[in-house]
Structure 1
Amino acid sequence: MVRRTLIYTYMGIYLIFGAGTTIIIKQMDMITIKDHNFAHPYIQCTNLFLGEALCLLIYMTYKSIKRFRNRTLQYKHLHRSGSKTLSKFYEKLGVLSFGIPGILYVFSIYLMFIGLALSALSVYQIIRGIITLPVLIFSMIFLRRRFYRHHYLGIFFLLLGVIIVSIDSVIEKSISSSDPLIGAIVLIISQLIAGGVFVYEEYLMNKMFVEPIQAVGVEGLVGLILSVLVLIVLNFIPCENNDFCYGGKVENTMQVVEDIIENTRLLILFISSFFVITVLYWAGIYTTRYASALARATLDSSRIVVVWVYSIIAGWETVLWVEIIGFAFVVFGTLVYNEIVVIPCCGFKESVEQHRLEADCTPDI
């Protein structure tokens, strides 16, 4: 009972702060400064990894002021047993192995933020729902994970909702999107990469015993180093496309910093995003550890309820009945997958009971 409650707590935090992160970043994109919307995915990407890297500092600070061994013992009842059959490559790297998914995540996040800058907020969130498909496939192939019929049904409805809203977003261009077609394509590619990262994280945590907050901190540090290097290069590349560039360059860091300092609202949002992202990735890695990569992926899709309602209230988007149908499919699919809604016929109830029995019988260490 304690195990299940703690898992749902992490999942709830991940859901809430995930929606908050999306809303804050989109608010930044829509602020107009000097006749130009503040759409700087490269700066935002660096800020994201900075927030993620903060987890490593938190871990080191916590370890120095607390007896970490005692704290670790409190988590042991949650750890799934791992085979601990690491290759020599991973044995030598240890926790630094999480730098590999960190590198992949850099590409995913850059594409994700570019897609967000070009897309409507709800469309961005709904397309992120396709991450469940690559996570499902990769989990079966690399993790040899077994799924039940209610899992497949949930994923089917979730992806159906994604398709409906994605098509509608291209036909009905919303207020807060500049290029919905290109934005949708970029977002889809980013989610394919992110799906691989989720599964890679779970694979590593099943193979070694590592504190999740330390792992995500290593990912963030590697991502921060790479994103800073990319940012430096982008400051020297000339560009005249106002949708992707600023001040005649792909990115103009010094000018962006001045803009942030001069605009109080933008400064507050920028600082807020830093701390919200830290909590988001802290909760996310614990969700992957104690639930699964696919459970975390379904939560990404569940954010749409909060994000969509906020978008309507803020006047960023209008109510479209086709999108409501798509959102309903996504929510229903997520609830079915996570066994919150149990279909009492066609063997789905028995499927849920069998899965829960198997989960309860999984030995903890």
Structure 2
Amino acid sequence: MAWTKYQLFLAGLMLVTGSINTLSAKWADNLKAEGCGGSEEHSFQHPFLQAVGMFLGELSCLFAFFLLRCRASGQSDTSVDPQRPFNPLLFLPPALCDMTGTSLMYVALTMTSASSFQMLRGAVIIFTGLFSVAFLGRRLVLSQWLGILATIAGLVVVGLADLRSKNDSQHKLSEVITGDLLIIMAQIVIAVQMVLEEKFVYAHSVHPLRAVGTEGLFGFVILSLLLVPMYFIPAGSFSGNPRGVLEDALDAFCQLGRQPLIILALLGNISSIAFFNFAGISVTKELSATTRMVLDSLRVVVIWALSLTLRWEVFHPLQILGFVILLLGTALYNGLHRPLLACLSRARRPAQEGEQERLLGGSRTSINETS
């Protein structure tokens, strides 16, 4: 069945905005500007402030939901039914997980390349599968266990590629190891978030835009308040700001005033989050969750290609092997091999039937008549 123009638009929107999300965050990390009090020019490394911006993008999904509900009023569109009761506090536990996982990932992005960052996010499959067995009582089939094993192998290969590409100094080597570990830790937290969402939130038939937006509201408010104590918590070499604290929001705003490109990068990150969530939900509704997964995997290719073009990272052939293994693991876990095997079996069946027809009815001359 051919895709409609609207479906192609949604698929393209998801791929583009998903790629912009990671690339804009990495672009902001690479930009430099002077801070407050005449401090020297330094990189814009403010991961927690960037996480606040990400939640602002998620919060915009809540406004989109209410706009859809207003448009649906008076129509028979039950997908945005305003009468569905739910307790907003159900969103608090997954929002806290989202806040923790997102903050860890933005910290890790300052330490590793954008392509490795995107590839290592595939680790969420491992922990989602294990947690669904432990807490949701699910049983994984053989292909899903093989997908988890393939994903683990792919993560090892990507990690080795990172080590090979960052072996020029011990400081960079320690940074990339820390960054990779933080990404894995973030995927554990995000897997818990996904299990909580399925167990408590989506069990109440809450509209996905409303779920994302409400989590964004909790994350935005809580993390914005946490920026105040972070301003006074020393972080030593772990910090990327001149004061050496966990997060210096004032320094970030001073850099924003001195380098408009940072503002552009942050706006790109915030808006891409909003459109990416909308496009992802729409792709699942219009096409399938499998299509959404495939498009999400293709983001790695786009991010990798642009990162190499912009010379943000150095090419390493091990990354290709790691990406292929990760893609195989994702495909096995999500059952992409089933339609492929079904197509192969359907293609083989007519060939076998044709060959049987030739054997039974192709030549009707008696063996004794042949010479």
- Structure 1 position 156, deviation (Å): 3.1
Structure-2 separation of matches of 1:344 and 1:207: 32
The CA deviation at 1:112 is 0.9
Query: What amino acid does structure 2 have at the position aligned with 1:47?
Result: G
Residue 257 of structure 1 corresponds to which residue in structure 2? 253
In the TM superposition, residue 157 of structure 1 has moved relative to its aligned partner by 2.6
* 1:241 aligned counterpart, secondary structure: helix
The residue type paired with residue 326 of structure 2 is V
**Residues 66/285 of structure 1: CA separation in 2 closer, same or farther (3 Å cut):** closer
In the alignment, which residue of structure 1 is the partner of 2:162? 169
TM-superposed deviation, 1:92: 8.7
**C-alpha distance in structure 2 between counterparts of 1:2 and 1:59, whole Å:** 29
Per-residue CA deviation, residues 158-208 of structure 1 (Å, 9 max, x unaligned), is 332111011221233189988101111111111100011122222335421
The separation in 1 between residues aligned to 2:334 and 2:184, in whole angstroms, is: 23
Aligned counterparts of 2:300 and 2:275: Cα–Cα separation in 1: 19
Give runs of aligned pairs for residues 144-293 of structure 1, distance below 5 A: 144-173=137-166, 179-241=175-237, 243-284=239-280
Q: CA RMSD in A?
A: 3.7
Letter in 2 for 1:63: R
Give the alignment of 1:317-336 within 5 angstroms.
317-336=313-332
Question: 2: distance between equivalents of 1:294 and 1:159?
Answer: 21
Distance 1:68 1:99 in 2: 32
- Cα 1:242–1:210 shift into 2, 3 Å: closer
Q: CA deviation at 1:336?
A: 4.2
TM-score, normalising length: structure 1: 0.77
The 1:207/1:195 distance shift into structure 2, 3 A limit, reads same
Give the secondary structure class of the aligned counterpart of 2:110.
helix
10-19 or 36-45: bigger deviation = 10-19
Structure-1 separation of matches of 2:7 and 2:141? 20
Once the two structures are aligned, what percentage of the paired residues are identical? 27
- Matches of 2:101 and 2:210, distance apart in 1: 21
Q: Does 2:115 align with 1:109?
A: no
Query: What TM-score, normalized by structure 2, do the two folds share?
Result: 0.76
CA distance in 2, matches of 1:296, 1:97: 26
Q: Alpha-carbon deviation of 1:50?
A: 0.9
Alpha-carbon spacing, 1:190–1:42, altered in 2? closer, same or farther (3 Å): same
1:323 alignment partner AA: Q
Could you list the runs of 5+ residues in structure 1 that have no partner in the other structure?
Answer: 76-90, 351-365
1:124 to 113, 117, 120: 117
For the residue of structure 2 that corresponds to 1:39, the secondary structure is: coil
Partner of 1:78: none
Distance 1:240 1:209 in 2: 45
Structure 1 counterpart of 2:30: 30
Work out the CA distance in 2 between the residues paired with 1:18 and 1:124: 13
Give the structure 2 partner of residue 47 of structure 1.
Answer: 53
- Give distance in 2, aligned partners of 1:203 and 1:228: 27
Query: Is the Cα contact below 8 Å between 1:116 and 1:124 reproduced in 2?
Result: yes
Q: Secondary structure at the match of 1:257?
A: helix
Instruction: Indicate the SS of the match to 1:161.
Output: helix
Name the CA distance, whole Å, in 2 between partners of 1:13 and 1:150.
30
1:135–1:297 CA contact under 8 A, matched in 2: no
Per the TM alignment, residue 226 of structure 1 is displaced from its structure 2 partner at its CA by 1.0
Conserved 8 A contact 1:237-1:250: yes
Unaligned stretches of 5+ residues in structure 2: 35-40, 347-371
Q: Which amino acid aligns with 2:51?
A: C
